[in-house]
Structure 1
């Protein structure tokens, strides 16, 4: 397996493990981010989200489909930023496939006609996978004493 394939797999692994991300869209001249529960599907090369037809993000995406997904596990010092193209779909079968307990906070059931799928097809990503907070602090302290750069773990830019 090539390094790019390893890095690509690492992006998917981290995003799947973290699960929640900040979805950033463009609203006029401003950027807006909001937390979303992501459903990562490598086989489709896509991230899926359940959204409401009346939400502002759907309008923003129709005008500016380029988005950013920012995943963060601050305790584990693991981060992923994914750039991609978003589209809103009314795929009722996919909605039923993705329906899970967290969605019940927003809708009564998967057949609610206001539910839509937000599909993000990734184009590139970058990840940071550090060994953890305590070890990172120790490495930074050692680097400060020795004037060396600390090895803070893996970091790679990936074409998806």
Structure 2
């Protein structure tokens, strides 16, 4: 029997370790005409705890896409590849916007954190997959784990495949 709390904590720690140095994720939404749209977005919180934070503007297509369908995917690429699926919601929190604001955003978004058009996106992760490629082993390991407490028999499956590229 898998201890869900320990298992989820270990999964979150693993994902945190893999994405902590990757600043930009490919943030994927679904458009109103069911097209899959990905764009680079800077992750605002370094410590992954099952939630990820982003800043955006309300007058963007991604805002409308999330309103229509809050299911999103985040892809991180670095020394490992991580794909996180979750549900996005908009948060109006002036203190958090100020905390996450970076002076680069002033120029990039041509505004400031207190602009009412600026909004936070909070993504609650449902699941994550990662492919960790070690340089010396030349292998790929795949691990699929449910990150929430909505654990089912299917969700407890771990897949550990090693593929040798030599």
TM-score class normalised by the smaller sequence: 0.7 to 0.9
For residues 18-97 of structure 1, the aligned pairs below 5 Å read 18-27=22-31, 28-40=33-45, 41-43=47-49, 45-73=50-78, 76=79, 78-97=80-99
Residue 86 to residue 55, structure 1, CA distance change in 2 (3 Å)? same
Number of residues of Structure 1 aligned to a counterpart in Structure 2: 140
The structural deviation recorded for 1:61 is 0.5
Separation in 2, partners of 1:102, 1:119: 21
Note the alpha carbon deviations across 1:81-107, whole angstroms, 9 max, x for none.
000000112211110011113322213
Post-superposition shift, 1:4?
A: 5.0
Larger radius of gyration: 1
Q: Which of residues 121, 129, 132 is equivalent to 1:126?
A: 129
For structure 1, the 5+ residue unaligned runs are 140-151
- Residue 158 of structure 1: SS of its match in structure 2? strand
> Gaps spanning 5+ residues in structure 2: where?
148-166
Judge conservation of contact 2:129–2:143 (CA < 8 Å) in 1: yes
Q: RMSD between aligned alpha carbons?
A: 2.0
Measured after TM superposition, the shift of residue 54 of structure 1 is 0.3
**TM-score between the two structures when normalised by the length of structure 2:** 0.76
**Greater helix proportion:** 1
Which residue does the alignment assign to 1:115?
A: 118
